[in-house]
Amino acid sequence: MEKFKFAVLISGSGTNLQALINKFAFDKRIEICCVISNSEEAYGLERAKNAGIDNLSINHNNFSSRKEFEEALIKSLSEYNPDLIVLAGFMRILSEVFVNRYSDRLVNIHPSLLPKYKGLETHKRVIENKEKYHGVTVHFVDESLDGGPICAQSRIKVETDDPDELKKSIHKLEYELYPTVIEEIANGKLFLSNGKVIRK
Ligand code: GRF
């Protein structure tokens, strides 16, 4: 049986990538085929290297437009023919062209209970607004910021007023939720049909 292959796009530390590596390193059916970063500095590239996973950086600053950057990204991704593209702290907005090309096959994790708190600094804003709950969302990606059909969420009670502490608790949720959802997608238990998430 052919393996289910997914590519991971990162920009930074890659702790979610590490959770995925830990989950799938010895899986016979599901594998990370490549890790691509838009920055050479991303520590996640080290994590990929250490795990023996193909990795490369494509620095967006070396391109004169988003279109050219994305063309380079698509070219590299195509060499691996991934079944799924997993955004894990990838800090570039992707155009409609990219999103449509990988529609139904592009997922992201966001540190908030979407549709609340799109964008950055979610932990700080959640505390400022005295929210009772905070959490994480895994979603299929559309062309809007942190938008697209939701695959799964998990949440915790907000019991601190320190954004860094809250961030740590949220990260723990992320490391559980993202690998679980990707496994469901790989096993055909969760997919998009006519823009709706179906769970079998
Ligand atoms: C995570 O909080 C993720 O939800 C968000 O970016 C962060 C990436 O962290 N999209 P890391 O690089 O996985 O450590």
Instruction: Express each pLDDT in 140-154 by its tens digit.
Output: 999 888 999 999 999
Q: Give the single-character DSSP code of 2.
A: P
Minimal-distance CA residue to ligand 1 atom 14: 15
- Does the structure show a pLDDT above 90 at 47? yes
* Residue 128, CA distances (Å) to 56, 72, 110, 151, 185 in order: 38, 40, 19, 27, 35
Cα separation, 172 vs 139, in Å, equals 18
Give how far Cα 70 sits from Cα of 31, 59, 91, 93, 120, Å: 23, 11, 13, 10, 22
Under a CB-based contact definition with an 8 Å cutoff, are residues 91 and 12 in contact?
A: yes
* Confidence category of residue 1, pLDDT binned at 50, 70, 90: confident
Sequential DSSP letters for 62-119: GSSSHHHHHHHHHHHHHTT--SEEEESS--SPPPHHHHHHTTTSEEEEESSSTTSS-S
pLDDT given for residue 65 in this prediction: 96
pLDDT band for position 103 (cuts 50, 70, 90): confident
Average pLDDT value for residue range 147-162: 97
- Whole-prediction pTM: 0.97
What distance in angstroms lies between residue 191's CA and the mean position of ligand 1's atoms?
A: 23
Amino acid letter, 109: I
Contact, 54 vs 60, CB < 8 A? no
Which atom of ligand 1 has the smallest separation from the CA of 171?
Answer: 2
pLDDT band at residue 20 using 50, 70 and 90 as cut-offs? very high
Q: Which residue has the higher pLDDT, 143 or 4?
A: 4
Among 9, 13, 16, 17, residue to substitute to test ligand 1 (most atoms within 8 Å of Cβ): 16
From the CA of 109, give the closest atom in ligand 1. 4
Residue 31 pLDDT class (50, 70, 90 cuts):
very high
